[in-house]
Chains A and B, each alone.
Chain A
Amino acid sequence: MNCKVSWGLGLVLVLLVFTAAGCFHGDEEGAPGQTAATDQEGQGGRILEEVKSRGTLNCGVNEAVPGFGFVTEAGDFEGFDIDYCRVVAAAVLGDATKVEFKPLTAEQRFTALQAGEIDVLIRNTTWTASRDGGEGATHLTTTFYDGGGMMVRADSPYQSIDDMGGTTICVLSGTTNEQVLASVFGARGIEHEPLTFEEIDPLREAFVAERCDGWTSDLSQLAGIRSQWPVNQGGPEALRILDEPLSKEPLGPAVRDGDTKWADAVNWAILATIQAEEFEITSENVDQMADSDDPEIRRFLGSPVEEEEGAAPAPFDPGLGLPIDFALQIVKQVGNYGEIYERHLGPESPLELERGFNALWTDGGLHYSPPYR
């Protein structure tokens, strides 16, 4: 009886252990299998399907940079990047208003993207090698070619960063500006003391109180901040942005690594705005353009086109998983690249930024869309 009990108990325990090992082994086998499946699924458009079934696009944005991602007093999001969220929503869902904006700090943005909290990150994010690599993000077409800059008080004697030895510089953490500050100042042997903040509000307080002598960020951001500088602190004239850019900062949307179908879909939504400007399609003339004689434009906007001699005219579907007329919806609901730029960043806006590098390639700029065929 004694032996029977102990043996029985021992047998039960051994059985349990084997079951557990079997379960875990199954997990392990399942895991690489799952990874392969995930990769295949990843290339099969899991995020695209999720967004379509959810009906809204989760877009990671900035809420503190005028011109790019900003919350007005009424509580609405507006800016260049905000409009690009709407572009993606118009392309994927057919409705530019179906966006859920999630404001993120520079430190949080990639973790939120990795964790799947947002589908796409359009938050003045610089395209760098390490972000494509170890950060788990895939950068898409650059929407804004920018540079790193330095802003100082207008009454300070600095004309270039070589004058700024011994100064205290304020910068936001989690940005390329932080790394650029360390490497550029280090390479030129300029002594400085960095003050890194997580949020822009304490940084602004420190800058106003003259705790730091310089504020480094992207030139477009500095332009936006300067344009909104309150009058009781001297208004925009109280600040000066140094001329020389410290670095290249190509800003653009980013999506998570591992889902090429989603990346392709979002990428072509962005490229459509640039191609639309090249074709001179605007939100006003898009309906007439859909009936144009030019087969390139007809194909682009999803109108039936005669691809081969004698074949029936059919609309062109490149197989991106987007609706046939996604380009038409984008331009109709949001606009082409030029319209989006003018609305938020152009000479009419408070930022007054010239197109410069952000013009089309036909005008000497860098925006060049691959052909839509």
Chain B
Amino acid sequence: MSATAAPLRRRTPFWRNVRVLRVVLQAVFLLAVVLFLLALFENLTTNLRAQGIRTDFGYLQQPAGFAIADADFRPSQSIWDAIKVGAVNTIKVSLLGILLATVLGVVVGVARLSTNWLVRRSAAIYVETLRNIPVLVIILFWWLAVLLQLPPIRRAVDLDVIVISNRGLVGPGLEQTEALAGFLLVAAVGLVAAAAAAVWRTRVFDRTGQPHHRVLWGSSVLLLFLVAGFFVFDRPFTISLPERGELATTGGFRLSPEYAALLIGLALYTASHIAEIVRGSILAVPRGQTEAANAVGLSGFQRLRFVVLPQAFRISVPPIANQYLNLVKNSSLGVAIAFPEVTRITRIAIGQQAPAPQSVLVLMGVYLFFSLVIALVMNLINRRLTLKGR
């Protein structure tokens, strides 16, 4: 046998070394993309400058020059303040919309699997109709065909506690007084105390096995604190009832028809999608679980509440998070019915000399922020619910 030769240390030349090529190609591609984006940006700024339009974000400090309905906003305040008012409106409609859509969606989704034929059919019709109509049409329908057709303010329906007209639904409102801050402090302390009570009851349950009734205990403690605070701080808020005037209803808390139409339209549409997700996720729970629940002797409602829904909930979180994001983005349809949410405010500002590229960028940033917050919360929920080992 010949002697073994020393192993030759030969490296592949770099021009056919796969690892090198990968890195080089990626670098070249990245460079090309960056150059392209820079070229676009240069083009934009050059053209804007040629027309004398500003290319910075300083326009945000300019006075707005327009007023916003239903808001504590003066036209002399800055455009940035106007955008904040719009963002608050978007949050108001999105949060409430998400809540309503979830509640309605879960109810309808479960109803679609009911053993009762009428309930099942009605839910199916609701879902099939609303999923297939564009959101804008639903919103316009509610605004034009329903809410605007309510009696005009001169013939408003006055029920003392509530006044209904096509200028809005005005109900009893809370007027804050100076003592409110103290009351809120007591309320915060009460919440902490309620949480502590719930934790204590859970410990008792763990130790002795007696039913904890922690919800009952927690809410009683909270109620105690709230009532005490109410009397100690001498009426921190008063209830104002609406008074019907010639043109408007003063006092109370007003729900404008634009807000209501947007809210109802968004909630109904998103609920139909959530209903389908809930139905799908209930059907995805293994059949064996239902059979086992029946074998143990749980009633229909108990089976749903303790076995099926918790498992279905876990599956449904990512698609429902998607629907929430869609709802936030669909709230921009308030543009069509003069509801001053953030897209509307941005468009008004653009119409009043705010430079368009920067304004839209700010708008995109606002929506991105909302979406990331929702995605973060839903991801946290998802992570807590994930089965160990997946």
Residues of A near any B CB (own CB < 8 A): 1-2, 5, 8-9, 12-13, 16, 20, 23-24, 27-28, 31, 34-35, 38-39, 42, 106-107, 110-111, 114, 130-131, 133-136, 166-168, 173-175, 178-179, 181-183, 186, 193-199, 202, 205-206, 209-211, 213, 256-258
Contacts and interface: CB of A to CB of B under 8 A. Distances in A.
Contacts of B245: 166
Contacts of B351: 106-107, 110, 173-175, 178
Contact of A210 (B42, B74, B166, B353): B166
Contacts of A39: 50
Contacts, number: 153
A220 B237 CA distance: 50
A125 B337 CA distance: 24
Given A198-B336, A202-B337, A210 B153 contact: yes
Nearest to A38: B50
A31 B66 contact: no
B390 interface: no
A62 to B, nearest CB: 14
B52 A107 contact: no
B65 interface: yes
Contact of B67 (A24, A35, A175, A181): A181
Given A8-B14, A9-B20, A258 B70 contact: no
B347 A211 contact: no
B148 A195 contact: no
Contacts of A182: 65-67, 75
Interface in B327-357: 335-338, 340, 344, 347-348, 350-353, 355-356
B33 to A, nearest CB: 12
A300 B20 CA distance: 75
B27 A13 contact: yes
Dominant secondary structure of chain A at its interface with chain B: helix
A34 B67 CA distance: 41
A198 B347 contact: yes
B93 to A, nearest CB: 17
A328 to B, nearest CB: 34
B174 interface: no
Contact of A35 (B49, B148, B167): B49
Contacts of A107: 347-348, 350-351
Nearest to B149: A209
B153 to A, nearest CB: 7
Given A9-B20, A206-B148, 16 more contacts: A27-B42, A31-B46, A135-B353, A136-B51, A173-B66, A178-B348, A181-B67, A182-B65, A182-B67, A186-B74, A196-B338, A210-B152, A211-B148, A257-B50, A257-B51, A258-B50
Contacts of B59: 134
A212 to B, nearest CB: 9
A24 B353 contact: no
B161 to A, nearest CB: 22
Given A9-B20, A20-B31, A136-B53, A196 B66 contact: yes
A245 B110 CA distance: 60
B296 interface: no
11 contacts: A107-B350, A133-B52, A134-B59, A134-B353, A134-B355, A183-B65, A198-B336, A202-B144, A205-B144, A210-B153, A256-B51
Contacts of A20: 31, 35
A174 B35 CA distance: 36
Contacts of B70: 193
B260 interface: no
Nearest to A209: B148
Contacts of A35: 46, 49-50
A256 B48 CA distance: 11
Contacts of B54: 134
A131 B353 CA distance: 7
A60 to B, nearest CB: 14
A114 B53 contact: yes
Contact of A197 (B167, B338, B350, B352): B338
Contacts of A193: 69-70, 248
A337 to B, nearest CB: 30
Contacts of B154: 210
